[in-house]
Amino acid sequence: MSYQFHYDWFTPYLSEVEPELRSLAGKPGLQILEIGSFEGRSAVWFLQALLTAPGSGLTCIDPWQITPEMVDFEPEIMVAWAESRFDSNTALALQHSPAQLQKIKGPSEAVLPLLPAGSFDLILVDGSHRAPFVLSDLVLAWRLLKPEGLLWCDDYGYDRFVEPHWNPALAIDSFLACYQGFYQLLHRGYQVLLRKTGEGGKPGVLREV
Ligand SMILES: C[S@@+](CC[C@H](N)C(=O)[O-])C[C@H]1O[C@@H](n2cnc3c(N)ncnc32)[C@H](O)[C@@H]1O
């Protein structure tokens, strides 16, 4: 049995953030969440490169079906084989990783509110590429991160939508603006990487009325 991948949206930009991520490698009990798993390429990398210690875990969320929101996916790419490839690719990687895999089939906006707060060391946001959904994923994922946890936003540079307000950058910039004081920006390129640092510092100052 060998790994079966049709597309590689993962490795071309991995080097942007890999040095920061490598610091997590082999951490006992490491917990990673990914939103958007497709064929499992990023999941396999997490299992091979980071989730090598006992007690570690990977949670993968993906509907593995075309929804009306997925205007940037050709249906034939998705429905026929992406989920079965995910299953066989992760099964292969799990032969060499002690991690537990939790696969959750469904849209992130329904699944993320059900997960326990403060439970992940690293969250990859790589699901829907439409700005409203990216924004929702970032806000919902934030609650799930441990203090000092890393939030990894893929596709900051994705620009396939003609209308700029549909592309992920608007959502990521909006999130960064609203949560300033709560994070340390580690990288901003095609990928964005943040560390959750605190509670926002001083409370906002109210204008006199
Ligand atoms: C670019 S692919 C993910 C690639 C994967 N992370 C990798 O590197 O191999 C995007 C995935 O997001 C999924 N997706 C789209 N909308 C989603 C949503 N609302 N919730 C969760 N996943 C979603 C799609 O089904 C697709 O499999």
Q: Determine, yes or no, domain membership for 209.
A: no
6 assigned to some structural domain: no
Assign residue 103 the CATH number of its domain: 3.40.50.150
Instruction: Say whether pLDDT at 78 is over 70.
Output: no
Range of the domain at 82: 16-59+74-196
The rounded percent of the chain whose pLDDT value lies above 90 is 83
Residue 74 has pLDDT above 70, yes or no: no
Helix (H) or strand (E) holding 44: helix 41-45
Q: What is the mean pLDDT of residues 131-156?
A: 97
In a domain, 28, yes or no: yes
Structure tokens at 101: 């895999």
pLDDT of residue 76: 61
Is 208 among the domain residues?
A: no
Residue 205 lies in a domain: no
Domain membership flag for residue 165? yes
| CA 26 – ligand 1 centroid, Å | 26
Cα–ligand 1 centroid distance for 127 (angstroms): 4
What pLDDT score does 71 carry?
62
Q: What share of the chain is helix, strand, coil (3-state, %, to 5)?
A: 35, 20, 45
Q: Return the best residue to mutate from 8, 34, 62, 76 for the ligand 1 pocket (most ligand atoms within 8 A of CB).
A: 62
Atom of ligand 1 nearest to the CA of 67: 16
Quickly state the pLDDT bin for 202 (edges 50, 70, 90): confident
Q: How many structural domains compose the chain? A: 1
In a domain, 30, yes or no: yes
